[in-house]
Chain A
Amino acid sequence: MKFFSRKNTKFVSIAIFLLIVVFISSRGADNPVRGTALWILNPFMKTFRIFSGGTHGFFQFLGSIGDLKDENEKLVKENQQLLAEIARLKDTAEENKILRTELDLLPKNKFDLEASFVIGQDALGPGSMILIDKGVNAGIKEGMAVIVSNGILVGKVRQVFPDTANVILVADQEGAVNGEVLESGAKGIIRGTYGLGTTMDMISQAEVVKEGDTAITSGLGGGLPRGLFVGKIGQVDQSEDKLFQQATIFSSVDLTSLKVVFVVKRF
């Protein structure tokens, strides 16, 4: 029969063999193989990533020259507002320190951070996974929070190898975290929408959530520290016939242009 030609027989046998490989991989047998391959490719990926980031930055700069003047003026104004806020917060920090001493409370611990370069990105999925150049050997474990400067959450560690790790970004559906609205204390689940954005879901209808509010991690469940900034609340979908409210979240971080991230090893 024509179907059982040498070519088709070869194809069927290879397909069956690959199904067995997939089954074995599902039991975790692929981790050493994947870890070794990534360890070999790590330096090349890092070099190309850094080089292409520089090239992209150069072309972006050329394209944005016209907008620089307006952006500069906007930033000067914002800087002045922030300076005023810093002064106010310093005062609050001092007051906090005094109150803690008086109430005999322990000081807040600082995070134990591990800086990592982003060496790759999931190019064929929704694009909401990144590869970093630190792994088990640097003390990184699954579930650890990954932040950028000033405590902005970008994702959490999903899979760890000896010298690399996969980080699932907040913009991915599978990167859900427990969240809270800073202003009202409303609790919800922050999850991504197919890599295109983030929403806070399952907010009680009794809670008040407004546009411009701040979304942070709530710390519930103990997996992630409390207070990591996620984004600003955008549109709030509040409907009487639904059980919960939903709000879109605008992140201040461009998740596609991450170069260096920090893994929170201890908090």
Chain B
Amino acid sequence: MKKLNLFLFILILFIFQYSVLGVFFHIGRIPNLFVALVVSLAIIFGFEKSLGWTIFAGFLLDVGSTWLVGSGILTLVVILWLIDKMKAITEFRSKRYLFAVLLFLTAGVSGIAFDILIEIIFRIEKLFSPDVASLRHFSVIGKAYVLKTAYTAFSVIPVYFFARKFPKRSGIFLAGKKR
């Protein structure tokens, strides 16, 4: 049942990302919910258990974009692996506010890392497929990009809140609660 819930949650995130957020946010300021999801999954489940869900989320990410299928998946998998390396953040789960701040910062940095990685992948893809569009985010770093990163960082709080509900019988205990 928890797998079905997580599957539906990722589908809902996809619909929100591509069909809902664009209505409420200006162009270029739309938060990246998939990065928020990957950060949450990495902290809750770790690398190996999150891998399948990350690949599924990355596939949906590619479906909704103009990118080649595989680009978004690869970027999210790399981010998942990098966050998993930062095991220290999980040690602070018992300190609620500090954990929230670390989560916020991790998501913000991951959002920037996502854009850098996807741009690198695009430039490599352009070598063997000239039709590939380049995002060129980094020519336009300004207020819009800062807001986008901030919104991505804020979005990790509700995404983490929902994602942590799924592992009901896992060994992960939540802040303030005892096993």
Contact = CB atoms under 8 A, between A and B. Distances in A.
A41 B59 CA distance: 13
Contacts of A7: 47-48, 84
B178 interface: no
Interface string B17-41: 1111111101110101010000000
Nearest to A31: B69
Interface residues of B, number: 52
A52 interface: yes
Contacts of A24: 70
Given A30-B68, A127-B28, A194-B136, A18 B48 contact: no
Interface stretch (B73-81, B92-100, B163-171): B73-81
Given A45-B15, A125-B65, A194 B140 contact: yes
A256 B15 contact: no
A34 B64 CA distance: 8
Contacts of B144: 196
A257 B23 contact: yes
A195 B136 CA distance: 11
Contact of A25 (B26, B64, B68, B135): B68
Interface string B110-153: 00000000000100010011001101110110001000000000
A21 interface: yes
B19 A119 contact: yes
A53 interface: yes
A194 B23 contact: no
B140 A196 contact: yes
Contacts of A10: 48, 51
Contacts of B140: 126, 194, 196
Interface in A1-22: 7, 10-11, 14-15, 18-19, 21-22
B66 A49 contact: no
Interface in B58-72: 59-66, 68-71
B136 A173 contact: yes
Interface in A27-45: 30, 33-34, 37-38, 41, 44-45
B87 to A, nearest CB: 12
Contacts of A126: 27-28, 135-137, 140
Of B63, B81, B137, the most chain A CB neighbours within 10 A belong to B63
Contact of A22 (B17, B59, B66, B70): B70
B14 interface: yes
Interface of B: 11, 14-24, 26-28, 30, 32, 34, 47-48, 51, 55, 59-66, 68-71, 73-74, 77-78, 81, 84, 121, 125, 128-129, 132-133, 135-137, 139-140, 144
Given A18-B70, A25-B68, 11 more contacts: A21-B73, A26-B128, A37-B59, A122-B65, A123-B32, A124-B17, A124-B30, A127-B30, A194-B140, A195-B28, A257-B23
Interface of A: 7, 10-11, 14-15, 18-19, 21-26, 30, 33-34, 37-38, 41, 44-46, 48-49, 52-53, 55-56, 119-129, 131, 158-159, 166, 168, 171, 173-174, 194-196, 255-257
Nearest 8 interchain pairs by C-beta: A127-B27, A121-B22, A22-B70, A21-B70, A26-B129, A30-B69, A120-B18, A25-B68
